[in-house]
């Protein structure tokens, strides 16, 4: 058995404390990666909902609720192709699919369950919303729909024009939605939008340099700070991993299986439960940056071009940016962002050599490689465990992966292979 030192140093404590509002904000930043070139859509929609709700005279609780629901509204969108369709068309015929998926994701995580119904119906016409829905939920869903469509118009405008012109064209931008009042959108909500939009701040706060400050001003309220226990944090990790892995049919359950492999390997190496669970969270979230990778790259059946590889090489840093924000006093972001490093310095994005790569990162690296080779991919079928080990033997011979951790994996190849190829949730 290897000697496993406590991981992460003095910053690691027995429990984790995550603010739900900030967790929603950070998850939304990750979801906004799907837009590739527009990295703030979800956050803008959330803020627009909040500002329109203020014009409606809604209570502080309702304003806070629609801010978070608005930020989470696209959690069912992992595909860049789907995102583009939602941008291109006011009413895309297949929009409901991501609403259903978002409802399922949010319903699976208790702290987010209250936002699920509004997200489920956020592309449903006002005139078609089910009468059985709670009146507040009907308004929340339609407000998200209205804010979402306004933001698409806004984003297209500022992409083509100097920003200050948005203040001179606010009536024109809103006017593009007026024909849909009474059908797509509730008249009362639209009137509140017109009132809110009279303030310059309504538009200026949507700029990236002001957006997060405006959101955090709302989230700073102690009234809405709820701490998550370790079990809930793992559940949040599993929710996020489902969103990431849904990006491609070839990556279904990859993050979950990597997490389970890393957890098992860490236990076999001799780590305590706390470190094992931290490493499992890192495994669940290690590929969150891939939300920014275009679908066609992940699903390409042949070799990637140099340009495509360059795009792939950025995803660990995108993951690090998200995870530092959620788990600032843990090694989770470090481990996740270094899972493509190699002991000989040939990895990416940092090009670390052996002395710079700690043992948990080495475990996560091996878990990721092993699971990816065990999983069916667009360019090949699933490999047998012996075929996988032949490939990894070459990596071991080249001293790219940790020899001791790899020896543990080989000694436990049968049960670990079963973890790697398991379908469905744990």
Residue 4 in any domain: the answer is no
The residues that bridge with 380 in the sheet, in sequence order, are 377
Predicted pLDDT at 356: 96
pLDDT attached to residue 9: 42
Q: What is the DSSP letter of 338?
A: T
Q: Are residues 181 and 276 in the same domain?
A: no
Q: Which domain, by its residues, includes 387?
A: 230-421
pLDDT-derived band at 278, boundaries 50, 70, 90: very high
Domain co-membership, 380 together with 320:
yes
Q: What is the pLDDT of residue 239?
A: 85
Q: DSSP secondary-structure letter at 382?
A: P
Q: Tell me, yes or no, whether 291 lies in a domain.
A: yes
User: How does residue 250 score in pLDDT terms, banded at 50, 70 and 90?
Assistant: low
Per-residue buried b or exposed e for 386-400, using 16+ beta carbons within 10 Å of the residue's own CB: eebbeebeebbeeeb
Cβ 415 vs Cβ 424: under 8 Å: no
Whether residues 164 and 247 share a domain: the answer is: no
- The pLDDT assigned to 230 comes to 81
- pLDDT band at residue 12 using 50, 70 and 90 as cut-offs: very low
pLDDT for 8:
45
Catalytic residue among 29, 247, 290, 334: 290
State how far the Cα of 83 lies from the Cα of 67, in Å rounded to an integer.
21
* 334 carries an active-site annotation: no
Output DSSP code: residue 7: S
Mean pLDDT computed over every residue of the chain: 89
Q: Are residues 252 and 356 in the same domain?
A: yes
Q: Give the mean pLDDT of 371-387.
A: 85
Assess if residue 237 is contained within a domain: yes
d(CA 183, CA 145): 12
Tell me which long-range contacts 77-86 makes (C-beta under 8 A, separation of at least 24). 77/31, 77/34, 77/102, 78/34, 78/243, 78/244, 78/246, 78/247, 78/291, 79/34, 79/247, 79/295, 80/34, 80/35, 80/36, 80/294, 80/295, 81/295, 83/34, 83/35, 83/36, 86/152
- Which residues are 275's β-sheet partners? none
Least confidently predicted of 43-52, 220-229, 249-258, 373-382: 220-229
Percent of residues, the chain, with pLDDT higher than 90? 64
The answer to whether residue 326 scores a pLDDT higher than 90 is no
Per-residue pLDDT tens for 297-319?
Answer: 877 878 889 999 998 898 999 89
Sequence-separated (6 or more) residues with CB below 8 Å from residue 154: 44, 166, 173, 203, 206
Residue 2 clears pLDDT 80, i.e. is over it: no
Same-domain status, 114 and 243 = no
Per-residue pLDDT tens digits for 83-129? 677 777 778 788 899 999 999 989 988 889 999 999 999 999 999 99
Tens of pLDDT, residue by residue over 160-202, are 999 999 999 999 999 999 999 999 999 999 999 999 999 999 9
Give the chain's domain count: 2
pLDDT, greater one: 293 or 10: 293
CATH of the domain at 105: 1.10.3210.10
CA nearest 120: which of 136, 87, 143, 97?
97
Are both 38 and 61 inside the same structural domain? yes
Task: For residue range 28-46, list pLDDT tens digits in order.
Answer: 877 777 754 567 899 999 9
How far, in Å, are 97, 145, 342 from residue 139 at the CA level?
21, 10, 52
275 and 388 part of one domain: yes
- CA-nearest of 91, 88, 115 to 27 is 115
219 shares its domain with 330: no
Both 167 and 255 in one domain: the answer is no
Residue 192: inside a domain: yes
């Amino acid at each position: 058995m290897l000697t496993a030192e406590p991981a992460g140093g003095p910053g690691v404590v027995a429990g984790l404390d995550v603010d739900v509002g900030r967790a929603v904000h950070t998850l939304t930043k990750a979801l906004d990666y799907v837009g590739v070139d527009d990295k703030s859509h979800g956050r803008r929609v959330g803020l627009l909902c909040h500002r329109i709700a203020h014009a409606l005279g809604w209570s502080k609780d309702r304003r806070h609720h629609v801010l978070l629901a608005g930020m989470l509204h696209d959690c069912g969108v992992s595909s860049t192709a789907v995102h583009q369709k939602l941008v291109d068309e006011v009413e895309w015929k297949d929009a409901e699919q991501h609403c259903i998926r978002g409802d399922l994701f949010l319903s699976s995580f208790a702290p987010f369950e209250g936002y699920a119904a509004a997200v489920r119906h956020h592309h449903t016409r006002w005139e078609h919303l089910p009468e059985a829905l709670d009146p507040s939920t009907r308004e929340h869903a339609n407000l998200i729909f209205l804010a979402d469509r306004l933001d698409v118009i806004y984003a297209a405008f500022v992409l083509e024009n100097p920003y200050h012109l948005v203040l001179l064209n606010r009536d024109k931008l809103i006017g593009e939605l007026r024909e849909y009042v009474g059908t797509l959108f509730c008249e009362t909500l639209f009137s509140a939008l017109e009132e809110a939009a009279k303030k310059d701040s309504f538009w200026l706060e949507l700029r990236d340099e002001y957006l997060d400050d405006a959101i955090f001003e709302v989230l700073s309220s102690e009234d809405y700070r709820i701490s998550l226990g370790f079990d809930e944090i793992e559940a949040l990790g599993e929710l996020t991993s489902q969103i990431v892995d849904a990006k491609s049919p070839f990556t279904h359950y990859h993050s979950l299986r990597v997490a389970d492999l890393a957890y098992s390997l860490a236990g076999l190496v001799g780590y305590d439960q706390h470190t094992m669970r931290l490493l499992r969270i890192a495994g669940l979230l290690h590929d969150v940056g891939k939300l920014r990778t275009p679908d066609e790259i992940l699903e390409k059946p042949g070799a990637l071009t140099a340009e495509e590889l360059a795009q792939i090489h950025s995803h660990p840093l995108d993951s690090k940016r998200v995870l530092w924000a959620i788990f600032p006093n843990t090694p989770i972001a470090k481990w996740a962002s270094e899972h493509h490093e190699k002991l000989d310095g040939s990895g990416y994005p940092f090009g670390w050599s052996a002395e710079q790569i700690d043992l948990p990162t080495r475990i996560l690296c091996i878990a990721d490689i092993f699971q990816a080779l065990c999983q069916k991919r667009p360019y090949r079928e699933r490999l047998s465990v012996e075929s996988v080990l032949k490939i990894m033997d070459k990596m071991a011979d080249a001293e790219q992966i940790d020899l001791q951790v790899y020896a543990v994996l080989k000694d436990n190849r049968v049960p670990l292979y079963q973890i790697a190829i398991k379908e469905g949730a744990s």
